[in-house]
């Protein structure tokens, strides 16, 4: 029907032409930009996936460059160490020459002058070698697991000592009382059956003990470093009269001592009783008394057993003291450790009637237990004295299992029988704490003699924590007053203690920054026998330190996400670190000592260079992985984002033809009203 008011054919043609123009415009965008997805409207899901792949690819490209920078750093370090090796070889040649008595004093003095200049040059390389203006050799000394067997004692004067199973060659002096002290310039050879002897390792010394079984022997470390590999020291738990100066603990840590261990190691303390009627003394497997500290690092296992009333690792007990002192501070970084008391001391921490110092565990696998009434980690049993507060226990990583005394309930972590709990902070790791008979999982031990106990403050901010409060045995404790999973152990019905006294004996429980209810009923679920508390917090990715080179390592970011990287280290090569800062060759005896020190320095530089090579290879593999991942991720992103030019050209041509056809049809549709006008003529 011819009309002029509504030209429907024209409107239809115009709408189709607009659609065609829009499609052609989009096609032109794709052809001109090269991307199939130019905005979210093109492909919303594809855009989100593509952007994620893009930041990953760019991050991997940057990480690959980071790795190349790290490799360049290691190349700089290795290049410097090549020259240090050359100088050490020359120094070795010179000291061998000086050791010959055919040289006059002036000859040896000339050799001494050349050695001194070479030492100064090594010092300059140590301080002046930089990468991006930062000192390269500012890290910790590199000690890897496969080089520990080469470590020997290095005294400030250059003396070298090693203890091993084939023969024990020690530079030491035997005192009149039967003890031994390390001395410079005296060599004594003993067979393997050393007994009733005490070896004192002086301040700042480093000693290696390996593949050795000893009985009734004590090693006393005074701010020393001790390396252990497959060592057993068993001190018999019998009454003996030992020589004056004998220490009944296999290892006693004084000052600030570090123990590094490999292989399988076992240490058992003994009970000492004087024939003159003096006090009984119980010694820990590794003894750390008040005012001292111990750091444990390992790639093997270490078992430490305390005698009777001593801790497995911690303080020893003296019968003449009503309240024994606190243990020293103990830090555990790595390795497998099994520490236990055979009676009333803690597995790790305080002895009987004694409490723990500050205990930090940030790695490794740690099992700590008390046989009778001490805490697994924390204080010993407090029976004759007043309940005491120990130091703090902080767990930042690793796997920890702590079991309180099974006869009279000590806490898994916290107080022994009759002792307050301690402040406990757990931020990471897997922690299982089991109270002994009536002890809390984390908190105080069993309440004794009607004296109210306090659990201590407990803060949980990460990791996986399971605390089990144990039931009482022998019907001593009412079933309604079992040890809490977190809080206070069950109370012994002696004295005027009431239920309210028991329920009020809680510290503060803080979980993820929120203070919670510390009452046993509020934080524990009963499984029919025990009260059990479970907590699972977030595990955060490791973060690089803010001052990498000051911490002894360089953080290399090897991936596109936080925590994807490794630490590399270049060690320290100053003459003091290499123990060549006081070389003297003015006699054949001094030349002999210098020769040994230089040979050890060559071995140490070789170890550092080998360590650098291992790190370089790891970075190289990491770079290959990054490049391969970036390439394949880029390919996946291209399939989503990029335009298929051939297909889009076909699409563009189709839209061009439709556009021309639409324009033609619109033109013809606009001519229809003219036919109506002709009817009016």
Residues 619 and 599 in one domain: yes
Residue 164 maps to a domain: no
Strand bridging mode 197-201 / 206-215: unpaired
Q: Residue 511: what pLDDT?
A: 85
Instruction: Name the β-bridge partners of 226.
Output: 207, 259
Between 443 and 663, residue with greater pLDDT: 443
Pick from 390, 394, 415, 395: which is nearest to 405 by CA?
415
Handedness of CA 417, 419, 420, 426 (dihedral sign): negative
Between 147 and 435, residue with greater pLDDT: 435
Q: Residue 377: what pLDDT?
A: 96
> Degrees (nearest 5) of the Cα angle 368, 399, 381?
25
Identify the top-confidence range among 131-135, 242-246, 613-617. Answer: 613-617
Q: Residue 226: what pLDDT?
A: 84
63, 560 Cβ separation under 8 angstroms: yes
Strand bridging mode 256-262 / 225-234: parallel
Maximum Cα interatomic distance, the chain, rounded to a whole number of Å? 148
Token pair listed for 596: 């040994």
Band (pLDDT 50/70/90 cuts) for residue 433 is very high
Q: Residue 538: what pLDDT?
A: 58
Pick from 504, 445, 497: which is nearest to 472 by CA?
445
Q: Residue 286: what pLDDT?
A: 96
Window from 51-60, 295-304, 596-605, 607-616 with minimum mean pLDDT: 51-60
Residue 96 maps to a domain: yes
Count CB atoms within 10 A of the CB of residue 660. Answer: 12
Token pair listed for 428: 């990471």
Helix, strand or coil, per DSSP, at residue 533 = strand
192, 240 Cβ separation under 8 angstroms: no
Residues 622 and 487 in one domain: no
Q: Residue 222: what pLDDT?
A: 84
- 3-state SS, 292-337, equals CEEEEEECCEEEEEECCCCCCEECCEECCCCCCCCECEEEECCCEE
Band (pLDDT 50/70/90 cuts) for residue 553 is low
Q: Residue 88: what pLDDT?
A: 94
Residue 43 maps to a domain: no
Residues 656 and 23: their CA atoms lie apart, in Å, by 10
Residues 521 and 481: their CA atoms lie apart, in Å, by 11
Residues 24 and 54 in one domain: no
360, 377 Cβ separation under 8 angstroms: no
Q: Residue 514: what pLDDT?
A: 79
pTM, full prediction? 0.56
Token look-up 């033609």 returns 664
Residues 507 and 407 in one domain: yes
Helix, strand or coil, per DSSP, at residue 516 = strand
Window from 102-106, 226-230, 352-356, 628-632 with minimum mean pLDDT: 226-230
Token pair listed for 502: 């028991």
Residue 102 maps to a domain: yes
First-to-last CA distance in the chain? 18
Residue 467 maps to a domain: yes
Instruction: Note down the domain range covering 600.
Output: 48-140+564-637
Residues 587 and 486 in one domain: no
181, 175 Cβ separation under 8 angstroms: yes
Between 306 and 298, residue with greater pLDDT: 306
Band (pLDDT 50/70/90 cuts) for residue 198 is confident
Residue 389 maps to a domain: yes
Residues 536 and 622 in one domain: no
Question: DSSP secondary-structure letter at 642?
Answer: B
Query: Residue 350: CB partners within 8 Å, gap ≥ 6?
Result: 311, 314, 315, 324, 326, 327, 356, 374, 378, 379, 380, 390, 416
Band (pLDDT 50/70/90 cuts) for residue 507 is confident
The values of phi and psi at residue 96, to 5°, are -65, -40
Report the C-alpha dihedral over residues 180, 186, 187, 191, rounded to 10 degrees: -30
Band (pLDDT 50/70/90 cuts) for residue 57 is confident
Residues 382 and 522 in one domain: yes
Token pair listed for 579: 């123990």
Residues 518 and 658 in one domain: no
Q: Residue 292: what pLDDT?
A: 95
> Degrees (nearest 5) of the Cα angle 78, 80, 84?
110
The values of phi and psi at residue 242, to 5°, are -90, 160
Q: Residue 481: what pLDDT?
A: 53
Residues 514 and 412 in one domain: yes
Q: What average pLDDT score do residues 349-360 get?
A: 93
Element (H, E) at 148: none
Band (pLDDT 50/70/90 cuts) for residue 189 is very low
Cα–chain center distance at 486: 27
Handedness of CA 639, 640, 643, 645 (dihedral sign): positive
Q: Residue 243: what pLDDT?
A: 47
Q: Residue 448: what pLDDT?
A: 75
Q: Residue 2: what pLDDT?
A: 62
Band (pLDDT 50/70/90 cuts) for residue 157 is very low
Residue 522 pLDDT greater than 60, yes or no: no
Q: Residue 196: what pLDDT?
A: 66
Among 547, 582, 609, residue at a domain's last position:
547
> Rounded mean pLDDT of the chain?
78
For 14-29, write each residue's pLDDT tens digit: 788 788 878 787 787 7
Residue 154 pLDDT greater than 80, yes or no: no
Residues 534 and 668 in one domain: no
Q: Residue 529: what pLDDT?
A: 63
Q: What average pLDDT score do residues 248-271 get?
A: 90
Q: For residue 120, give the CATH number of its domain.
A: 1.20.1330.10
Residue 576 pLDDT greater than 90, yes or no: no
Band (pLDDT 50/70/90 cuts) for residue 406 is confident
Domains: count for the chain: 3
378, 350 Cβ separation under 8 angstroms: yes
Residue 312 pLDDT greater than 60, yes or no: yes
Window from 61-65, 76-80, 533-537, 552-556 with minimum mean pLDDT: 552-556
Band (pLDDT 50/70/90 cuts) for residue 188 is very low
Q: At what angle do helices 645-670 and 8-33 cross, to 10 degrees?
A: 160
Count CB atoms within 10 A of the CB of residue 6. Answer: 8
For 102-150, write each residue's pLDDT tens digit: 988 889 989 999 999 999 999 999 988 988 888 888 654 443 322 222 2
Residues 614 and 494 in one domain: no
- The stretches of 451-540 forming alpha helices (DSSP H) are 499-503, 520-523
Q: Residue 566: what pLDDT?
A: 81
Q: What average pLDDT score do residues 593-612 get?
A: 88
Question: DSSP secondary-structure letter at 471?
Answer: P
Residue 190 maps to a domain: no
For 318-350, write each residue's pLDDT tens digit: 887 666 678 999 999 988 999 999 989 999 999
Residue 238 maps to a domain: no
Residues 368 and 340: their CA atoms lie apart, in Å, by 6
Residues 480 and 431 in one domain: yes
Cα–chain center distance at 53: 33
637, 629 Cβ separation under 8 angstroms: no
For 366-405, write each residue's pLDDT tens digit: 999 999 999 999 999 988 777 888 899 999 999 999 999 9
Band (pLDDT 50/70/90 cuts) for residue 662 is confident
Among 522, 547, 572, residue at a domain's last position:
547
């Amino acid at each position: 029907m011819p009309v002029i008011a509504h030209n429907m054919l024209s409107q239809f043609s115009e709408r189709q032409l607009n659609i065609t123009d829009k499609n052609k415009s989009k096609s032109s965008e794709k052809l001109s930009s090269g991307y199939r997805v130019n905005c979210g409207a093109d492909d919303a899901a594809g855009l989100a996936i593509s952007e994620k792949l893009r930041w990953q690819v760019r991050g991997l490209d940057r990480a690959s460059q980071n790795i190349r920078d790290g490799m360049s750093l290691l190349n700089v370090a290795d290049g410097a160490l090549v020259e240090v090796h050359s100088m050490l070889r020359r120094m070795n040649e010179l000291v061998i020459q000086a050791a010959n008595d055919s040289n006059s004093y002036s000859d040896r003095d000339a050799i001494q002058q050349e050695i001194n200049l070479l030492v100064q040059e090594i010092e300059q390389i140590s301080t002046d070698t930089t990468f991006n203006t930062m000192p390269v050799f500012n890290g910790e000394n590199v000690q890897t697991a496969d080089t520990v067997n080469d470590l020997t004692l290095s005294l400030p004067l250059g003396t070298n000592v090693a203890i091993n199973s084939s023969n024990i060659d020690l530079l030491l002096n035997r005192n009149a009382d039967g003890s031994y002290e390390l001395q410079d310039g005296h060599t004594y050879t003993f067979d393997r059956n050393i007994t009733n002897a005490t070896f004192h390792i002086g301040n700042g010394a480093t000693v290696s003990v390996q593949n050795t079984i000893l009985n009734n022997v004590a090693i006393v470390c005074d701010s020393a470093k001790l390396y252990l590999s497959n060592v057993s020291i068993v001190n018999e738990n019998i009454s003996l009269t030992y020589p004056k100066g004998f220490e009944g603990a296999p290892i006693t840590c004084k000052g600030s001592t570090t123990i590094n261990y490999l292989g399988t190691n076992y240490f058992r303390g003994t009970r000492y009783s004087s024939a003159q009627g003096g006090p009984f003394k119980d010694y820990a497997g590794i003894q750390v008394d008040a005012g001292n500290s111990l750091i444990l690092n390992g790639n093997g296992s270490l078992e430490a057993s305390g005698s009777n009333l001593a801790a497995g690792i911690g303080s020893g007990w003296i019968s003449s003291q009503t309240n024994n002192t606190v243990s020293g501070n103990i830090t555990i970084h790595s390795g497998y450790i099994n520490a236990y008391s055979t009676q009333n001391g803690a597995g790790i921490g305080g002895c009987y009637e004694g409490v723990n110092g500050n205990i930090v565990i940030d790695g490794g696998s740690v099992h700590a237990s008390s046989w009778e009434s001490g805490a697994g980690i924390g204080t010993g049993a407090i029976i004759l004295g007043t309940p005491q507060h120990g130091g703090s226990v902080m767990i930042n990583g690793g796997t920890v299992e702590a079991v309180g005394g099974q006869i009279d309930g000590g806490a898994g972590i916290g107080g022994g029988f009759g002792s307050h709990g301690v402040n406990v902070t757990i931020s990471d790791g897997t922690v299982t704490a089991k109270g002994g008979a009536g002890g809390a999982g984390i908190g105080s031990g069993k309440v004794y003699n009607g004296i109210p106990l306090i659990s201590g403050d407990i803060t949980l901010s990460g990791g996986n924590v399971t605390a089990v409060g144990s039931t009482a045995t022998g019907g001593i404790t009412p079933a309604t007053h079992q040890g809490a999973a977190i809080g206070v152990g069950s109370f012994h019905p002696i004295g005027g203690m009431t239920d309210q006294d028991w329920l009020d004996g809680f510290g503060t429980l803080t979980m993820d920054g929120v203070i919670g209810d510390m009452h046993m009923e509020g934080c524990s679920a009963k499984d029919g026998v025990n009260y059990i508390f479970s907590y699972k917090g977030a595990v955060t990715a490791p973060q690089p330190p803010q001052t990498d080179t000051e911490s002894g390592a360089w953080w290399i970011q090897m991936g596109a996400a936080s925590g994807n990287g490794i630490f590399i280290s270049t060690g320290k090569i100053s003459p003091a670190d290499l123990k060549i800062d006081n070389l003297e060759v003015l006699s054949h005896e001094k030349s002999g000592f210098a020769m040994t020190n230089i040979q050890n320095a060559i071995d140490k530089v070789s170890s550092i260079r080998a360590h650098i090579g291992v790190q370089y290879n790891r970075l190289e593999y990491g770079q290959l992985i990054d490049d391969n991942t970036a390439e394949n991720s880029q390919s996946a992103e291209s399939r989503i984002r990029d335009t298929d030019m051939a297909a889009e050209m076909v699409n563009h041509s189709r839209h061009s033809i439709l556009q021309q056809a639409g324009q033609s049809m619109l033109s013809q549709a606009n001519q229809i009203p003219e036919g109506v006008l002709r009817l009016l003529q």
